[in-house]
Amino acid sequence: MPTMKPSEIRKLSPAEIRKRVQEKKRELMELRFQASIGQLSQNHRIRETKREIARLLTILREKELGIR
């Protein structure tokens, strides 16, 4: 799944954002497991996934606080 832009994330409901966070956390766990057993050839995906989780959580918090 390609990285979503912040403007795309802002269009989602808080429930959808939470669902995406859970999916990304599961993906991150799988990537870390693959890295630990030496099967991960694209190490940059771990960093990208962590950043996307942070982006999702930031926008979710903005929605909770009523920002934007």
> Considering Cα of 56, then 43, then 41, then 36, what sign does the dihedral take?
negative
**Can you list the domains of the chain with their CATH numbers?**
6-65 (1.10.287.310)
* pLDDT in the model for residue 34: 95
Written as one string, the DSSP assignment of 20-41 is HHHHHHHHHHHHHHHHHTT--S
* pLDDT in the model for residue 3: 82
pLDDT tens, residue order, the chain (68 aa):
678 899 999 999 999 999 999 999 999 999 999 999 999 999 999 999 999 999 999 999 999 998 86
